[in-house]
Amino acid sequence: MGRKYLREPTEPIEVRSRKISELTDAMLKTGFQGRKLAQAIEAWSAMLDEKELTIFMGLSGAMVPAGMRKIIAYMIQEGFIDCLVTTGANLFHDIHEALGGKHYIGSHTADDNDLYKCGIDRIYDVFAEEERFRDIDHLIADFAKNLDAKNYSTREFIHLLGAEISKKGEKDSIIVSAYESGLPIFVPTIADSSIGIGLMLARRAGKSLPVDVIKDVDEITQMVEKSKKTGVVYIGGGVPKNFIQQTEVTSSILGSGAKGHDYAIQFTTDPPHYGGLSGCTFEEAVSWGKVSAAAKKVQVYVDATIALPIVSHALQEKSKKRKKVDWNSTF
């Protein structure tokens, strides 16, 4: 009677020389989060094979200081994603590195009072120079002072800032890759970052630059309305996750017939039982109409700094470069 549950045996991993994608394929026959990681790669690869699907990425956490920025830039350049929703902090740190700044290997056991006296900021086990950060604050303020006084969505502002950074910094960055690819970046919590500090400095200097985050809601909803199918990839959770999730609800209110995202992948360390959005399951999202009941859904409980290098290399081996859409030109 129980034989219906015993259709496919697990297969132990053999240690041998092989590609990363071959290893992750083998992990499909293992258990726990190893199998989930392999399933996430399989689902993302399937998304890349879809011809009429728009892929949204939500990026939270200090991923740039942790060394993930070139992975995200690569994904933009190769068409692995079509839209990025992230924090102002990630873009600020990306600009910092694009203009020659560094983050340094540190220690989570360092004396934080001594770090403060030395002008060193700590992000767990990563260090950075506060003075260099303040240089970027002023650069953003000076840039904002020269813009026309009108309402900007964060997408518009970041696109213009990307154009400026492309003239001064390295091309292999998130903001420059997005600018050159026409990929929209939305920063719904832009005030909660050093980019917000830079805009406030411009305001104090007499140049108030209205940033309209409700315009962001409209623009990203337009992307869903214009898309036949949608997929989502969340690195962490937080505001970027729900900002993308709610596009399906907004679209349905507007009568577009949206019934939830068709693919959903998340890499998170947050469990669902505390009620927070970062840990809530995609099954819960189905009840809101944010994710389709028929969607391919994979949540992997893993540190994103472990998952992203493995996933990106496996996709690089498995997937062809995807045709990109200049979404910025469609608004």
- The residues near 9 (Cβ < 8 Å, ≥ 6 apart) are none
Task: Classify the phi-psi angles of 196: left when phi > 0, otherwise alpha if psi is within -120 to 50, otherwise beta.
Answer: alpha
Q: Could you count the other beta carbons within 10 Å of the beta carbon of residue 12?
A: 8
Cα separation, 291 vs 281, in Å, equals: 10
Q: And the tokens for 100?
A: 């020659």
Whether residue 25 contacts residue 15, with contact meaning beta carbons closer than 8 Å, is answered with no
Query: What positions carry a catalytic annotation?
Result: 290
Q: Are strands 83-86 and 229-235 parallel, antiparallel or unpaired?
A: unpaired
Q: And the tokens for 124?
A: 């767990």
Q: Could you count the other beta carbons within 10 Å of the beta carbon of residue 102?
A: 10
Give kind and range of the element (H or E) at residue 70. helix 69-77
The total number of residues shown for the chain amounts to: 331
Whether residue 202 contacts residue 233, with contact meaning beta carbons closer than 8 Å, is answered with no
